[in-house]
Structure 1
Amino acid sequence: MSDSSPIEWTEATWNPTTGCDRISKGCDNCYALTLSKRLKAMGAAKYQTDGDPRTSGPGFGVAIHPDALELPYRWRRPRVVFVNSMSDLFHAKVPIGFVRDVFTVMRETPQHTYQVLTKRSARLRRMAERLDWPSNVWMGVSVEDESQLARVDDLREVGAAVRFISAEPLLGPLPSLELEAIHWVITGGESGPGARPCDPHWVRGIRDACAAGGVAFFHKQWGGRHPKAGGRELDGQVHNEMPAVLSGV
């Protein structure tokens, strides 16, 4: 866990699982895969499981960490927590029993707000009724282009207090995006070597759809070789909107 995070829309990170596998275009330049390789070389205990080289890599094999479940109970200050910045809680290799354990921790620490993000929306939808959804858990899906909009349909079936979309890295326009039952949308360009460009017209379309639907909109970055290389302004404005449940609206 990190008590601070460079991710603009959260305050801290918590990784009860680590590792993943690439499943769509948005995963091609996965920052967590690259970082895991480095952490493995440094001897970090949580990153010694290797994944399939076709979809994962050194240190990025899926691993669960039961000892990490105790961490949120020790945090004195309430915080907004991104769950599994280095993994996907709904990966098929994460047992449902452990997913439930994570949800128990989140339910028993209501002073914190937890943000869970997945690309595996079909498993999320299938499991949703078997999970207890406390009001401090926000559930999101990653959508990089039109080909992944089915993830949003799956998300709508989940009884989370806040449902959100992370359109990052945004790799194409989302003209068919429907925002019914969605509370928050994050957009962002890709960063790192070989970063694919994000067209401002794509972001404007999402911004305008959010404005029309009364949905909170947050533009995280334009990306580039470094996350902050392109800044954050869209048409001269920084968009930092958060869901009403957190903003107090």
Structure 2
Amino acid sequence: AQYAKPFSEIQLMPGRLTDPLHWRKPCRVFVNSVSDLFHPKVPVEFIAKTFAMMLRAHQHTYLVLTKRGERCATLLNDERFRDKVFHELIYSGEYYCAQCQDWYECAGPLDHCPNCGHECDLGAYEGKDPPCPQCGEEVEYEMTCPKCGADGGNGGLNCTECWSQEIESNWMKWPPPNVHVGVSVSTQADLDEQVPLLLKCPAAVRFLSVEPLLGAMDLRYALGDEASMHYAGICPEGLRPRTLGDDSKYGHTSYIDGVIVGGESGPGARSCNIKWIRSIVRQCADADVLCFVKQWGSKPCLGNHDAPAAAPDANMDCGGTCGYGCEQFKLNHPKGANPAEWPEDLRVRELPR
């Protein structure tokens, strides 16, 4: 979905999947801005193509955030989905269409020529050498493989054997080493529902996006040693282990690598109590988990209630009206996203690499 579309309406943009291939400088890519890759209406084939392109453009780091932890965990643990991703990966790239006699870039074998609709096919040129995409002349690909010296295949870049080794050693990795998977939560109820699902996901890095933060949160089960006890019966397999200290009686446990936290902004934004943010920062520090304070939101406030026992140092819900003795902070930045306006202990901006 896009800004101009309702969230119930899905708009796929396959033409943008190959954009990262043209970015030379490695960068961090937020895959889902105002969208959800695991929305129930997004076809599995499109999700597979997205993961294939993330593997192919492996110089970048991708953050995949979802509110649908259940579908995410189901697909990422499905060997059929993994095989579909690898199939898309192997057959993605530039193809030559025999019908319109032109080259085009596609994101997998299920794509079609954008000009004539001919299905993408490696053998579309019927055994003949396709014309040069630059001059249009038919050429003989007699280049040698730069790795082993054999006569070139696959467009003269590598011989078939070296090409296969290149794919297997650098691309066909599961879970993808450059893909970070996270779930979006706003309340304790969201957290309790989504964390077990996130821990089921095979991922190089798992993170929580606590935005907008709408209440006090107890993250200790998700961040620390207790995660192995709290979720042991829910997700005993398929988890990336964390090596703990020698004095740990658990040895290894699955965990959350990072937490992003922020208040709500924009028209109709609800209040965010600064004590809630400070509590999350402290809980992350105690668990040795990276934390990134993104913003305070449009209505940051500070209440005077006693902290609930479930969330140490946090404050009770201010009711979204800055009542109950809450003090409204007046910040210059409309989203409260300028760390220079914050206390030093909240200027925390760490992300997993």
TM-score scaled to structure 1, two decimals?
Answer: 0.72
Task: For residues 112-156 of structure 1, give each alpha carbon's deviation from its aligned partner in whole angstroms, at most 9, with x where no partner exists.
Answer: 000000001111111111344210000000110111011111001
5 Å-filtered alignment, 1:19-98, equals 19=2, 36-37=3-4, 50-51=5-6, 56=7, 61-98=9-46
Give 1:229 shift: 3.7
* Whole-angstrom CA distance in 2 between matches of 1:207 and 1:229: 17
In structure 2, give the amino acid aligned to 1:235: P
Task: For residues 136-192 of structure 1, give each alpha carbon's deviation from its aligned partner in whole angstroms, at most 9, with x where no partner exists.
Answer: 000000110111011111001111111000001000011255214100001101111
Equivalent position of 2:267 in the other structure: 193
Question: How many residue pairs align between the two structures?
Answer: 192
* Whole-angstrom CA distance in 2 between matches of 1:209 and 1:176: 7
Q: 1:128 aligns with which of 76, 97, 102?
A: 76
* Whole-angstrom CA distance in 1 between matches of 2:270 and 2:39: 25
Equivalent position of 1:206 in the other structure: 280
Determine helix, strand or coil for the equivalent of 1:141: strand
In structure 1, give the amino acid aligned to 2:278: R
* Whole-angstrom CA distance in 1 between matches of 2:342 and 2:259: 15
In structure 2, give the amino acid aligned to 1:164: F
Give 1:227 shift: 4.8
Is the Cα contact below 8 Å between 1:187 and 1:203 reproduced in 2? Answer: yes
Equivalent position of 2:185 in the other structure: 143
Runs of 4+ with >4 A deviation: none
Larger Rg: 2
Task: For residues 11-63 of structure 1, give each alpha carbon's deviation from its aligned partner in whole angstroms, at most 9, with x where no partner exists.
Answer: xxxxxxx34xxxxxxxxxxxxxxxx23xxxxxxxxxxxx54xxxx4xxx7211
Q: Relative to structure 2, which stretch is displaced further, 164-173 or 127-136?
A: 127-136
Q: Which has the higher helix share?
A: 1
Equivalent position of 1:236 in the other structure: 344
In structure 2, give the amino acid aligned to 1:165: L
User: Does residue 1:117 correspond to 2:65, yes or no?
Assistant: yes
The sequence identity of aligned pairs, in percent, is 44
Query: Structure 1 regions of 5+ residues with no counterpart?
Result: 1-17, 20-35, 38-49
Task: For residues 58-89 of structure 1, give each alpha carbon's deviation from its aligned partner in whole angstroms, at most 9, with x where no partner exists.
Answer: xx721111111111111121110000203100
Is the Cα contact below 8 Å between 2:21 and 2:57 reproduced in 1? Answer: yes
Is the Cα contact below 8 Å between 1:103 and 1:133 reproduced in 2? Answer: no
* Whole-angstrom CA distance in 2 between matches of 1:152 and 1:224: 27
Task: For residues 189-222 of structure 1, give each alpha carbon's deviation from its aligned partner in whole angstroms, at most 9, with x where no partner exists.
Answer: 1111121111111112211111111100110111
* Whole-angstrom CA distance in 1 between matches of 2:219 and 2:335: 29
Is the Cα contact below 8 Å between 2:263 and 2:295 reproduced in 1? Answer: yes
* Whole-angstrom CA distance in 1 between matches of 2:66 and 2:212: 14
**Over aligned residues, Cα RMSD in angstroms?**
1.8
* Whole-angstrom CA distance in 2 between matches of 1:211 and 1:108: 35
Q: 1:166 aligns with which of 209, 234, 239?
A: 209
TM-score scaled to structure 2, two decimals?
Answer: 0.51
Determine helix, strand or coil for the equivalent of 2:294: strand
Equivalent position of 1:12 in the other structure: none
Is the Cα contact below 8 Å between 2:294 and 2:337 reproduced in 1? Answer: no
* Whole-angstrom CA distance in 1 between matches of 2:29 and 2:219: 30
User: Does residue 1:221 correspond to 2:295, yes or no?
Assistant: yes
Change over 3 Å in CA distance of 1:234–1:162 after alignment to 2: farther
Is the Cα contact below 8 Å between 1:224 and 1:230 reproduced in 2? Answer: no
In structure 1, give the amino acid aligned to 2:208: I
In structure 2, give the amino acid aligned to 1:241: E
* Whole-angstrom CA distance in 2 between matches of 1:161 and 1:119: 19
Equivalent position of 1:157 in the other structure: 200
Give 1:236 shift: 2.4
